[in-house]
Amino acid sequence: MKRVFSGVQPTGDIHIGNYLGAMRQFVKLQDDHECFFCVVDLHALTVPQDPKVLKEKTIELAALYLAIGLDPKKVTIFVQSHVPAHAELAWLLQCITYFGELSRMTQFKEKSKGKESVSVGLFTYPDLMAADILLYNTHYVPVGEDQKQHLELTRNIAQRFNNRFGETFVVPEPMILKFGARIMSLTDPTKKMSKSDEDPYNRINLLDDPSLIRKKIMKAVTDSESEIRLDWDKKPGVSNLLTLYSLFTEMNVEEVENKFKGQGYGTLKKELADVIIEKLAVIQQNYKELSRDYVLSVLKEGAQKAEAVAENTLKEVKEKMGLILR
C-alpha cells in the first residue's frame, strides 16, 4: 500500500481554502493508502505565536481532522513536536541543502518582505518540511499549489541524499488538484484565500456560523457586469464563486454556468451560501461532539505509531551519514 503524508499548521482559523485545496483529499485517500496526517506545530514557530493560543489551535485542528471524516483506525493523526525525529532529521537535511536553494523559495521572500528581521527558522522551513515527508518514506503528498516549490526541493534533497549515501529515501510525488487547488480571497480574488489576511471577510472558516458565512458570501467581490461565467482574467470574483459552487456540489463548472445562466450575482451568492452552510454543518456537528480527552488520546496513539516509523528512518540516515548510534 502506497504511503501518504501531509500536514497543516495550527495557526489562525482553518478555512474552506485549506479544506478544498488539501484536507478534503485526505478523507478520500484514507481507504486505499497508508496515511500519516500531522498537525505541524513546529512550522508555526517560524513566526511569533501566543503559546496559549497555539496549544488550543493545535487541539482544534486535530479535532477538525476527525470532524471532516478522518478515521483514526485507518490513518495516523499526530502532532509534529510529539515525534522528535522531525526536528533531528531536519538538521541533518540542512547539512546537505544549499543556501542558494533556500534563498530561492518564493514563500520565504513573500513572508519576509518588508520586515526588519525574520527568524532563521522561516528560512530553513523547507528542510523541516522535507524531514516531515521523508521520515515516512512517503509516496504521495497532497498539498496546495503554494507548496509545490517546497515539494520540488524535498525531491531534490531526497535524490541528493540517495546519490551521496546510498538508496534511503522514497522520492515523493505531489498530489495537487487540477481544479480547485488554489481558492482565492473573497475580498480580493487576485490573491489566495489566507489565514493570515487581516480582513476576516477574505475567507470562510470551517467553524463560522451560518449567518456569518452568508454575510461573507453576500459581501464577496464580483464586478460591474451581470453575466455569470468562468473568466479568471476579466471576472476573477465571479470565477472564484463559480469554482466554490462547483467544488462543494461536485458539479462541473459548465453545469454550474448553465444553472445560473441569465440570473444575477445575488442568486449565485445566495445559493452558494446555502450549499456551503449545508456542507459545513456536518463538519461543525461532528466537531461539537468530540471531547478534548478523546482528541488527545487519538494524538497520543498517533504519535506512538508515527514515532515507530520515523525512528527507523532516522536510524538508517544517521548510520549512513557516519554518526555513532547509542
CB 59 within 8 A of CB 295: yes
Give CA–CA dist 231/239, Å, rounded: 6
194 assigned ligand-binding residue: yes
144: left (phi over 0), alpha (psi -120 to 50) or beta: beta
Q: What is the gyration radius of the CA atoms in the chain, in angstroms?
A: 21
CB 129 within 8 A of CB 154: yes
132 assigned ligand-binding residue: yes
192: annotated active-site residue: yes
Give CA–CA dist 32/34, Å, rounded: 7
50 assigned ligand-binding residue: no
**159, 38, 90, 85: which is closest to 314 by C-alpha?**
85
146 assigned ligand-binding residue: yes
Place of cell 497555539: 54
9 assigned ligand-binding residue: yes
233 assigned ligand-binding residue: no
116 assigned ligand-binding residue: no
Give CA–CA dist 80/303, Å, rounded: 8
Catalytic, out of 28, 55, 57, 111: 111
196 assigned ligand-binding residue: yes
**Amino acid in position 236:** P
261: annotated active-site residue: no
72 assigned ligand-binding residue: no
193 assigned ligand-binding residue: yes
Catalytic, out of 57, 192, 216, 269: 192
Three-state DSSP at 168 gives coil
Catalytic, out of 195, 270, 305, 315: 195
Give CA–CA dist 213/207, Å, rounded: 9
Place of cell 489562525: 12
195: annotated active-site residue: yes
127 assigned ligand-binding residue: no
17 assigned ligand-binding residue: yes
**63, 15, 9: which is closest to 207 by C-alpha?**
15
**Which residues are documented as binding site for ATP?**
9-11, 17-18, 144-146, 183, 192-196
> What residues act catalytically?
111, 192, 195
**Which residues are documented as binding site?**
9-11, 17-18, 132, 144-146, 183, 192-196
**Which residues are documented as binding site for L-tryptophan?**
132
